[in-house]
Structures are given as structure tokens and as C-alpha cells.
Structure 1
Amino acid sequence: MKIRLYGTVNDSIVDGPGLRYSVFTQGCLHHCPGCHNPKSHDLQGGYLEDTDVIMAEILKNPLLDGVTISGGEPFLQPVALVELAKGIKQHGLHLMIYSGYTYEEILDLGENERKLLSLCDVLVDGCFLIGQRSLSLLYKGSANQRIINIQASLKEKCVSIQKINDYGEFIE
């Protein structure tokens, strides 16, 4: 299945805990002032790639701890990302997604978006707000954003903030 990408990073150490493969989707409707990836906003920009090609690239690195999907806005392409997320989870990798939508908004978007959310381990939600920007925040750009343990949130039917130890690792 094809997905529109802004780009990928094979071995990121800044897009979540451990060594990660990062997928940056193309297309975003949020247009947050001060966005880290403003060139990813154009819905027709970037390039098309097959999810099987991305999955093959991910599997080339046996040292990966997980995959991070960011953007642009990942939830604009939920069908292709569900396919990719299923492969990621089948191979036992951690999946983290960044979205300008809040957790609650994603639940209201539709069935495909909820399916993608259900495959996710951790979600960083909410638009980037330049007035709340801080370089001291771990794994997020502004203080309004939340780092959410999705599996616990879906089970408990309320937002469960992900716990992080002093080393930046997610803990149960």
C-alpha cells in the first residue's frame, strides 16, 4: 500500500526512547506556528512509498527498539499506517506516534484512526504551541502536549500518562 512521506530516519535517538526508525508522513492541516517540519504540511508534497518497502527497511536493523511515526500529521493517512503498524507490532517493536490531534479528537475521527491508535504504544498528542515551547521537555516540543500510554488508556477508558524514568525510558 502506498503512503505519502516527507522522509525517514534509519537510526534516530531523539524521536523516542532507544534506537528508533522514524517515519515522517507528508501532509498536515494543523499548520502550527514554529512547526519543526513545515515543509511536511503540503498534502501533495513529499513522495509516495510502499509500506512494504518501509517495513523491509525497518527489519534491516536488528538493533531497533522501536518505530516513531510523526509528520506532517500521521492520522491523515490511517489506512496505510495501520498496515505498517501491524507489521511493526508483529515484529515486537515499540510504536510511538506524534499527532497534532489530541487523544480525544482521534477517538472521534473515525474507525481507521481508532484502529491506528489501538496499534500504538505511546502517543504524543496535541498541536505544538510556540508560547509553551521548551527545550527541556523530553519527547515533546511544548508543555501542552501529553505523552500517553495508549494501551493503558484504552483499557482504563481514560488518559493514562506514560511514566518515564531518569534515563528517558518508558516504564510500566
Structure 2
Amino acid sequence: MSTAESIAPGSPVLRVAQVVPRTEAEGPGHRFALWVQGCALRCPGCCNPEMFAFERGTVMSVDDLAARVLSTPGIEGLSILGGEPFSQPSPLADLCERVRAAGLSVMVFSGYTLAELKAQTRPDVERLLATLDLLVDGRFEKDQPETQRRWIGSRNQVMHFLTARYAPEEAQFTAPNTAEVHFVEGKLIINGWPELADRLRP
């Protein structure tokens, strides 16, 4: 991953927790998955508590991330998780605009509801929202595990179809949840279904 020392002054940057270049467990089709670092919501039972602290993770340039996403063969889009993506809306909007311009789809998982995000009336938040095809919103509720809807962590969460690219009646949105195990850059990563991922963690 890039480090702060290798990034040109003035270039937009993101604080990144982890990357899985190719997954089927974080949205439709094969996707590049990016977990951002930092979350103020800190939902009890979150499967990624190591991503709460804002000072952790790796600082990466948006230029480098965009190049990595767009050079990954055979992917349908980019999925962004966390952490909380809307804690870094401006650089994420930069990244997502480039991805969408190249014809890929964008999906974001946020602990904030869509109504809460719109109520902030922040231009950077609205700009990021404008790049999304899919948004999964709402706090993770550990006592309401979702077992029927794919890519959803708890029953209170909602998937918003923000463009016509996908439709809720498509079979892929009602298939069973899955978890994956990856070995990326010397690190074992389990991603996908939160409840199952927790069981598989060493």
C-alpha cells in the first residue's frame, strides 16, 4: 500500500483499513472491496472494531486507489465499507467519480441512514451520494442478524437502489449470504456475512 511519504503534496488521500481486490461477498458481481479506517458510530457487535480508530490504517492516495481499481480485470464495480465511509466523503467522492466514469458500479455500506446523510446538507456528502448505485444504510444491530437478504448485516438495515443499474427483484439480491477467506499482502482476511465471519475469526 502507499504511504504518506510517497504521496504528492495536495493530492487527495484516504485512510484505508484493508483492500480485497476481488470478491463476490460484498455486492453484485465480482467487486473491488475497500474498507476505510475510522468510525464514530462504533456499533456494539461490529465485526470490524479494529477499524473504529481514526488514526490507524494506511494513508493512500486517491490516484493510486483509482489506478488499482481500474486495472483490476473482470470486476463489475467498487464496494466501500468500513469503518464509516461517510467519515471521509470528499476523497471517496473523488474516487467514486473516477470509477463511475469508467463504467463500473459503486456500492457503499454506511451506519448512517440515508435520511441522516441527507439531513447533514453537506456538499461533500451529497457529492458522494450522487456517485452511488447502491447504498446499504443503518446501524448494525447485533441482536437482529439478517439471514434472508444478501449483503445485509442486520434486519433493520435497508438497501437503497439509487440508480437504474440494479433492481431489487434480481435473483442475486435474494441469494444466501456468503463469507470468503482471502490471504492479501500477508494478512488473513475474512469478509462477507458478519455473523459467519465472526465465527471463522481465529
Task: Output the TM-score relative to the length of structure 1.
Answer: 0.89
Alignment partner, residue 26 of structure 1: 37
Question: In the alignment, does 2:102 pair up with 1:91?
Answer: yes
After superposition, what is the alpha-carbon deviation per residue over 1:53-83, rounded to whole angstroms, capped at 9, x for unaligned? 1111111223000100111000010110010
Alignment partner, residue 52 of structure 1: 63
- In the alignment, the residues of structure 2 paired with residue 24 and residue 164 of structure 1 have an alpha-carbon distance, to the nearest angstrom, of 27
Alignment partner, residue 149 of structure 1: 161
Question: In the alignment, does 2:76 pair up with 1:62?
Answer: no
Runs of 5+ unmatched residues, structure 2: 1-11, 175-202
Question: In the alignment, does 2:48 pair up with 1:43?
Answer: no
Return the offset for 1:150: 1.7
- In the alignment, the residues of structure 2 paired with residue 164 and residue 93 of structure 1 have an alpha-carbon distance, to the nearest angstrom, of 21
Question: In the alignment, does 2:151 pair up with 1:139?
Answer: yes
After superposition, what is the alpha-carbon deviation per residue over 1:138-161, rounded to whole angstroms, capped at 9, x for unaligned? 111000000001237xxxxxxxx9
Kindly tell me the number of residue pairs found equivalent between the two proteins. 161
Query: CA, structure 1 residues 50+35, in 2 after alignment: closer, same or farther (shift >3 Å)?
Result: same
Query: Could you tell me which amino acid in structure 1 is paired with residue 127 of structure 2?
Result: K
- In the alignment, the residues of structure 1 paired with residue 172 and residue 109 of structure 2 have an alpha-carbon distance, to the nearest angstrom, of 21
- In the alignment, the residues of structure 2 paired with residue 41 and residue 135 of structure 1 have an alpha-carbon distance, to the nearest angstrom, of 25
Question: In the alignment, does 2:121 pair up with 1:103?
Answer: no
After superposition, what is the alpha-carbon deviation per residue over 1:97-153, rounded to whole angstroms, capped at 9, x for unaligned? 00000000111221110110011010000010011113443111000000001237x
Query: CA, structure 1 residues 162+148, in 2 after alignment: closer, same or farther (shift >3 Å)?
Result: farther
Q: Which has the higher helix share?
A: 1
Runs of 5+ unmatched residues, structure 1: 153-160
Query: Could you tell me which amino acid in structure 1 is paired with residue 129 of structure 2?
Result: L
- In the alignment, the residues of structure 2 paired with residue 162 and residue 107 of structure 1 have an alpha-carbon distance, to the nearest angstrom, of 22
